[in-house]
Amino acid sequence: MADTSNAQKIAAEIRVKNCQGCHGLLGDSTTPEIPRLNGQTASYLFTRLHSLRYPIREAPRAIHNMGEIVPQLQSQVIAALANYYADQAPTKPLAMTGTSEGARLYKFGAGKDVPACAGCHGVDGEGRGNAPRLAGQRADYLELQLRVFGLSARIADPMNRHVWLMTPEQMRAVATYLGG
């Protein structure tokens, strides 16, 4: 019990000192390529923060930005940070309506090689199980992640094999559809 509240205190200090300058006060980043953390699922934030300790799994850019801070954080502090951001209201997506190419890809996939994203990430992009929330995430960040998955510069099963056959236009279309 004492450990948990101490971890929460440390997490609150770190958030103000080390996170909010880039990710925003509530995790609601206003910078195109810096992801939003507000309303992201706690389990995904927890997993990704641990993943950012491993340069072999993460793109050089992610390691450059996050790699110096994250290895210094204890798991309990990571859990407290994840819970804090998960509790903040998510940003509303701008355009998750209509029948654009992005909407079709998200809901139905493209042929046998690109599965429907909704099957794992949820009908409204809200995130489910291990699959993170995508709705309301920064579109530039989403597109960048699809590109680095496609290049296997970020390794995260099952995303790599899902995006290997996506075209750059499809990546942009689905990122634009989901973005907030």
Which parts of 21-80 interact with ligand HEC (CB under 6 A)? 21-23, 33-35, 37, 40, 45, 47-49, 51, 59, 61-62, 65-66, 69
**DSSP sequence for 45-108:** HHHHHHHTT-TTTS-HHHHHHHTTTGGGS-HHHHHHHHHHHHTSPPPPPS---S--HHHHHHHH
When binding is defined by CB under 6 A, the residue of 7, 96, 144, 173 that contacts ligand HEC is 144
3-class SS shares of the chain: helix, strand, coil, % to 5: 50, 0, 45
Given candidates 8, 67, 95, 115, which one binds ligand HEC under the rule CB under 6 A? Answer: 115
Decide whether 1 or 45 has the Cβ nearer to ligand HEC.
45
- Nearer Cβ to ligand HEC (51/88): 51
As a whole number of angstroms, the distance between CA 138 and CA 62 comes to: 15
3-state secondary structure of 151: coil
Q: Which is nearer to ligand HEC, 1 or 170 (CB)?
A: 170
d(CA 75, CA 83): 12
Task: Choose among 126, 134, 140, 124: nearest CA to 162.
Answer: 134
For residue 176, state whether it binds ligand HEC (rule: CB under 6 A): no
Q: Which residues contribute to the site for ligand HEC (CB under 6 A)?
A: 14, 18-19, 21-23, 33-35, 37, 40, 45, 47-49, 51, 59, 61-62, 65-66, 69, 81, 105, 114-115, 117, 119-121, 130-132, 134, 137, 142, 144-146, 156, 158-159, 162, 174
